[in-house]
Amino acid sequence: MGDAPRHMTPEEFRRHGHATIDWVASYLERLERFPVLSSVRPGAVRAALPVSPPEQAESIDAILADVERVILPGITHWQAPSFFAYFPANASPPAILGELVSAGLGVQGMSWATSPACTELETHVLDWLADAMALPETFTSRGPGGGVIQDTASSATLCALLAARDRATDGRATVTGVPAGLVAYTSAQAHSSVMKDVGVAGIGRENLREIDTDEAYAMRPAALAAAIDTDRAAGRTPFFVTATVGTTSSTAVDPVRAIGEVCRARGVWLHVDAALAGNAAICPEFRWLLDGLELADSYCVNPHKWLLTNFDCDCFYVVDRRALLRALSILPEYLRTEAGASGAVIDYRDWQVPLGRRFRSLKLWFVMRAYGLDGLRRHIRHSVRLATTFASWVGDDQRFEVVAPVPLNTVCFRLRGEDARNERLLAGLNASGALYLTHTRLHDRYVLRLAVGGPYTEERHVADAWQHIREQADAVG
């Protein structure tokens, strides 16, 4: 009674640590052997777990055995080379090691003083990334702006929205409550997180205008301008636009420059969500995606999607950090530090909604150093080449149609004809366990998506996928 628990000795930790890394390495070796999409029934994983936690300590060996026995069957294998669903969620070995070091250090990076390296590495690596992607200089820490790592693009957009809300109301929205009449805009193809964030920020979901898109699913800037002007004429306060570079459904690219000009002329905050596609800017040939970004107030890209860095790692940049700080900083006595008071350091807790923060920049640093920019560019180019090859195969088969441009890694396609055939096609493919695809709706048609970008996907996996798709198409008639 009252004694401290028995912790592992460093020697025991070393032994179990090696065994755990061995288990992860063996998992990565076996990736192609599992059905990509887990087929467990709802409740099956819980049914295999004891009702209550153990009263007495269990061995790590026993726990690892249950990872294999209970957890693995309930895993959808996002790292499998035939995972083509949603978007890639890269977890490369260097990122895993960076994450391990972060857990080993176990620091809370809420203030500079709570671990100076946690803050300074983050600032530095985000400048590295901004420079490597040729982002506008104004997004770096060398001026009044800078970058910060958020958990997700959803949170980055929320922070941008809160800063814009604060700016548009001269601080009132933050201090006394959100006044009526604020209106936000995005395209009808934007990610659902924008709608969610508008609700969370107290703007009201019905005050988000979903602007019409063109035949390539990109926002129409003239329609945006007209919507803003109509709202303003009606006495409302347009304050925030989210443009998307690489929409979730089809990788459509909103014209950032034209949208930026609309926003600048009307004093509206422009946030650019490039969660997936922004990663491609590591390659000079894809930087056209971000043309006009210097007209934006904030920007985000997720290395946790397609830049070999495991979840969570969203890089969020602002041109003017003061708006963000005014919306989000709060300073109770127990968080005061001498360094913070000096104004010489960044306290990243003021750049995000939660107080606590993980040492996420370590994994990005490991990745950038272990691959080098050259390796990162190869990953992006390899994915784009495979997607383009797949699109050409689909285009050559009369039974199918490619239904959206393929600027990067995602191919939207369907069997010509009824939606029901396509639904059966997708269900049959995913039930096979050989690959995993997901669907969307474009122009109210059911569409299959094949998103390339996993770290281990090779041309043979994409060729196998195409073979399965053709065979399954025969089966659905």
Ligand X SMILES: Cc1ncc(COP(=O)(O)O)c(C=O)c1O
Residue ranges in contact with ligand X by CB under 6 A: 87, 152-154, 191, 193, 244, 246-248, 273, 275-276, 302, 314
Closer residue to ligand X (CB): 99 or 273: 273
For 140-212, strand residue ranges (E) read: 146-150, 182-187, 208-211
Tell me the closest approach of the beta carbon of residue 416 to ligand X, in angstroms: 27
- For the record, the structure tokens of 426 come out as 């997708």
Q: Cα separation of 239 and 181, whole Å?
A: 10
Q: Tell me the β-bridge partners of 240.
A: 184, 269
Q: Residue 19 Cβ, how far from ligand X at the closest point, in Å?
A: 32
Q: Which is nearer to ligand X, 135 or 272 (CB)?
A: 272
Nearest distance from residue 300's CB to ligand X, in Å? 8
Paired tokens of 50: 């004891």
Q: Of 272, 299, 274, whose CA–CA distance to 186 is shortest?
A: 272
> Closest distance between ligand X and the C-beta of residue 151, in Å?
7
CA distance 116 to 302: 24
* Complex with ligand X: residue 250 or 472, whichever CB lies closer: 250
Return the number of the residue (451 or 473) whose C-beta is nearest ligand X.
451
Cα 38 to chain centroid, rounded: 22
Q: Which of the 8 DSSP states describes residue 3?
A: P
Smallest distance, Å, CB 252 to ligand X? Answer: 10
- Which of 89/415 has CB closer to ligand X? 89
CA atoms within 13 A on the CB side of 96: 14
Q: Kindly state the smallest distance separating residue 150's Cβ from ligand X, in Å.
A: 8
Which residues lie closer than 8 Å to 20 by C-beta, 6 or more apart?
Answer: 60, 64
**Of 111 and 379, CB closest to ligand X:** 379
Helix (H, G, I), strand (E, B) or coil at 428: helix
Cβ neighbours for 450, distance < 8 A, ≥ 6 positions apart: 84, 387, 390, 410, 411, 413, 437, 462, 465
Nearer to ligand X, 313 or 473 (CB): 313
Give kind and range of the element (H or E) at residue 410. strand 410-415
Nearer to ligand X, 340 or 407 (CB): 407
Nearer to ligand X, 94 or 246 (CB): 246
Answer whether 295's CB lies under 8 Å from 263's CB.
Answer: yes
Residue 194 Cβ vs ligand X, minimum distance, rounded to whole Å: 8
Task: Pick between residue 114 and residue 247 the one whose CB is nearest to ligand X.
Answer: 247
* Smallest separation, CB 32 to ligand X (Å): 25
Task: Compute the half-sphere exposure of residue 461: CA atoms within 13 Å on the CB side of its CA.
Answer: 27
- Measured at the CA of 263, the angle between CA 257 and CA 267, to 5 degrees, comes to 145
Task: Output the smallest distance, CB 314 to ligand X, in A.
Answer: 5
57, amino acid identity: A
Query: Are 338 and 113 contacting, i.e. CB atoms less than 8 angstroms apart?
Result: yes
Minimum CB distance to ligand X, residue 250 (Å): 11
* Tokens standing for residue 146: 């800078």
Cβ distance to ligand X smaller for residue 115 or 248: 248
- Judge contact between 101 and 476, C-beta under 8 A: no
Closest to ligand X by CB, 87 vs 413, is 87
CA distances from 328 to 113, 165, 268, 319, 352 (A): 19, 11, 20, 16, 7
Question: What's the closest the beta carbon of residue 93 comes to ligand X, in angstroms?
Answer: 22
User: Residue 190: which of 210, 171, 208, 165 has the closest Cα?
Assistant: 210
Rg (CA), the chain: 24
Kindly state the smallest distance separating residue 5's Cβ from ligand X, in Å: 36
Distance CA 332, CA 349 (A): 12
